Structure formats: structure tokens, C-alpha cells
Amino acid sequence: MRFAVLALFLTPVFAAQIPAGTEISIRLNDKVASEAPVPAGVIHASVIAPVVVEGRILLPAGPVLNGVVKLAKPAQDTERAQLQLVFTEVTDGHVKAPVSAVVSGLENARETVDEKGVILGIDASQAYGTRLSQGIAKLQANDKLAGLAGILAGAKQTLKIGDVNANIDYDAGTELRVKLTAPLNWAGVTTGPESKLLPFPNEAALPALVSRQPFRTVAENPPRPSDITNLMFIGTEQEIRTAFEKAGWTPAARLNASTKMETARALIEDRGYKEGPMSILLLDGRPPDMALQKGNNTFASRHHLRIFRRPDTFAGKPVWVCSSTHDTGISFSERDRTFIHKVENRIDMERGKIVADLLFTGLVKSIALVGRPEVPESIENATGDVLETDAAMAVILF
């Protein structure tokens, strides 16, 4: 089995030019909104993952991008909301450098981004909630159907279905990608949280620990093989929960009638539900001990994971394994006759996202990547999505 400390994969440099077109993952430190007045002053965002070019870290996680809200336009009757964020400076607290960067991608958002970096709001007329209100209005205009309209309007009120808010509102903590529109000459800090990682204690025992863990979860209903376990955490439950909370992850609510109804409201109102429930997956016949997710303003897309306690210990700490995927949309399953989440097929990207998030908290002591030759590199999950992976497990010691 192959074993490697992830930090050793990358070599920092002491001064570099980062080419135009390079994307940088950031987390907003301020709330921004399309209905806020402009000029809105300076906005700030932290770099949350190292920028790596040809195996070298050219910009580590940690520095802050400063910029402005260049355009903020609220949603109108027939016009979509617009929001444009432009970043002009990057600093590590000691060194500052001019930067030219615009938004190029959104994380778990219902909005889209155009080629100029302008965030475009949703078309509220296409949302389920708006169409429901329009349908009720049409029935009310018909004398013969006015009674039915009243019943539907009463049901909408009873179910507490609100109107669709088509404005763009991103809280602090929202994650985006920005793209350099000109080369960035960076002579500041070149090491981030990865520079503080230590070698694993008794690293020779890691491959055996990893290989004896089950690698496949099973859906509870209907019972079908599903997600691959692709992370291992070594630490107490409190250490794990604290790290994920600091990284912006939220515990998922239990799946029951109440949370199903709240999920339906979120879909009808075209909004997020950061505590939204997950379907139950079992490992060795047991449900997860922790279920966590990171979303934004749509239930259709979210990062999510399930963590299972194992009977092992390592370095005197409990061992947990985790299956993680990224929900990217909702579709209707003809096989199961229900709505399902579609997932990003390349699940190693989600594994990397979680490693980067936890590393950025400063609470990780050691990281390793352990190969598993016995694990298939392509399988289907319980809902029919193909999962592609290198089959390795990332191991994180807190």
C-alpha cells in the first residue's frame, strides 16, 4: 500500500508570479447582498486552499483578499438581481500586493456567474413557489374555481410556505472561486497550515488500520450498496465536531415528517436549508454517529458526509471512518419513483475539500493518504450515480 504525508506532495516557493486565469478558493469574511447600497466599502475574503501550480504552492491558504462591491442591483419584477465583487489587493498581514480578480464560480448557490464575473440572481418566475402563487391567482379569477383557490391558499398558509426571495444574499462564510484577470506577483508568505503538520506516530501501522475498515455503506431503504468511505478521523468526538464547526459545517437534522416538510418548503421557496436531513446509510448495519453538511442558499447542492465510530483506537484516540460526497442537483428517479440528489462523480474532490477545510482550522496535527488496492475505483451508489475514485483514504489526526 502506498502511504504519504499530503504536505510533502507540495513544495513552497519564496516568490512567484501566478498566471492570469488561475482560480483561487475563498471564503467571504463579510455579508454581501444585491439589495445593499453601493458603494458598500471594502469587503474581505480569506484564501482557504493553497494555489498550486505544477506541484508548487504559489499562494498558501490564509492570506486575505480585499475588494469592493462594484455592482449591487436588487431583483425587480422582471429583472434578476445582480452582484459584482471585484478584488484588488491580497495581503498576509505584512506583505501587500495588487491583484485583479473577479468571481468565477459559486459554491452550493442557486445563482450563476457571467463571463464578466457578475453574479446573476434566479428568475423568480420559474420557482415552484411563484408558480404556485400564479396558479392560485388564476383560479381566483375563475368564479367556478374560486373555492378551490381558497383551499389551496389556505393550505399554503397552513404549511407556512413563504414567497420566493430572488435577491442575492451571501452571509459571511459563503465560499466562492475567483479568477485572476492579470498575473499576480506574490512575494509574501508561501506556507500555510500545512507547514505545521507533524509525521504520524507509528505511521507503519496505518495501512493495516485502514485496510481492515469496511469501505462501502449500504442504504437503509431500499437496502442497496452505496457510498465509499474515503476519510478516517483519529480523535475524540468533541475534537471532530469542534473542527467541523470551525470550518463552517452544520449538523444535519434527523429525517422525519417535520424535516421532510421543511425540505419541501425550501424547495418550493427556492432557498437553502443548512440543517436539511440526509437519507440513512449504514456501515456494518449501524447508522452514522455524526452527519454534517455545508450548504448555501439552495437545497439542491451541498457538501455532506456521514461519520461512523469504529472499534479501533490509534495513538490512544478513537477511530472514525467517513463517507463523503457533494450533492450537485436534484432529479427524479424513474427506478425509485422519487426525487433524489445527484452527486459529483469524482468523489476524491470532496475528500480533498474536507481535508482543506479541516487543515485551514489549524486543529489538524497530521495527515496521510493511504492506498487501498482492494477497493474498486468505479462503482454505483444506491441511487445509480457512478462514483470515480483513486480508492485511497485520507487519514486525519487531531
Mention every residue, 6+ apart, whose C-beta is less than 8 A from residue 378. 386, 387, 388, 389
* Rounded Cα gap, residues 386 and 389, in angstroms: 10
CB 279 within 8 A of CB 301: no
Q: What's the pTM value of the predicted model, to 2 decimals?
A: 0.87
The rounded distance, in Å, linking the Cα atoms of 99 and 185 is 8
Q: At 147, phi and psi to the nearest 5?
A: -65, -45
Element housing 274 (H / E): none
Q: What is the model's pLDDT at position 162? A: 79
What strand order describes the sheet that includes 51-53?
11-12, 56-59, 51-53
Closest CA relative to residue 182, chosen from 98, 248, 246 = 98
Half-sphere exposure at residue 244, Cβ-oriented, CA atoms within 13 angstroms: 25
Residue 180's nearest CA partner among 107, 120, 117, 119 is: 117
The single-letter DSSP state of residue 135 is H
Q: What is the pLDDT of residue 140?
A: 76
Q: What residues have CB less than 8 Å from 361, skipping those under 6 apart?
A: 193, 243, 246, 247
Grid cell digits, residue 122: 434566479
- The region, left, alpha or beta by phi > 0 then psi within -120 to 50, assigned to residue 284 is left
Torsion of CA 12, 235, 230, 310, to 10 degrees: 160
When computed from its CA atoms, the radius of gyration of the chain, rounded to whole angstroms, is: 23
- DSSP H/E element including 152: helix 146-158
Name the residue with cell 468565477. Answer: 104
- Residue-level pLDDT, tens digit, the chain, 398 residues: 333 444 444 545 457 899 999 999 999 999 999 998 765 568 999 999 999 988 899 999 999 999 999 999 999 988 999 999 999 999 999 999 999 999 999 999 999 999 999 999 999 887 666 666 766 677 678 777 677 657 766 666 776 777 889 999 999 999 999 999 999 999 999 899 999 999 999 999 999 999 999 999 999 988 999 999 999 999 999 999 999 999 999 999 998 988 888 888 888 888 888 889 999 999 999 999 999 999 999 988 999 999 999 999 999 999 999 999 999 987 755 665 565 678 899 999 999 999 999 999 999 999 999 999 999 999 999 888 999 999 999 999 99
Q: Which residues, 6+ apart, have CB-to-CB distance to 96 below 8 Å?
A: 89, 90, 188
CA 136 vs. chain centroid, Å, equals 36
DSSP letter (8 states) at residue 392: -
Domain residue extents for the chain: 10-123+170-186, 128-158, 197-397
Distance CA 336, CA 315 (A): 44
- What span, in angstroms and rounded, lies between the C-alpha atoms of 72 and 168? 9
pLDDT at position 8 is 40
Output the nine-digit C-alpha cell for 157. 398558509
Cβ neighbours for 252, distance < 8 A, ≥ 6 positions apart? 275, 276, 277, 278, 291, 292, 293, 304
* CA atoms of 190 and 235, how far apart (whole Å): 29
Give the CATH number of domain 10-123+170-186.
2.40.128.260
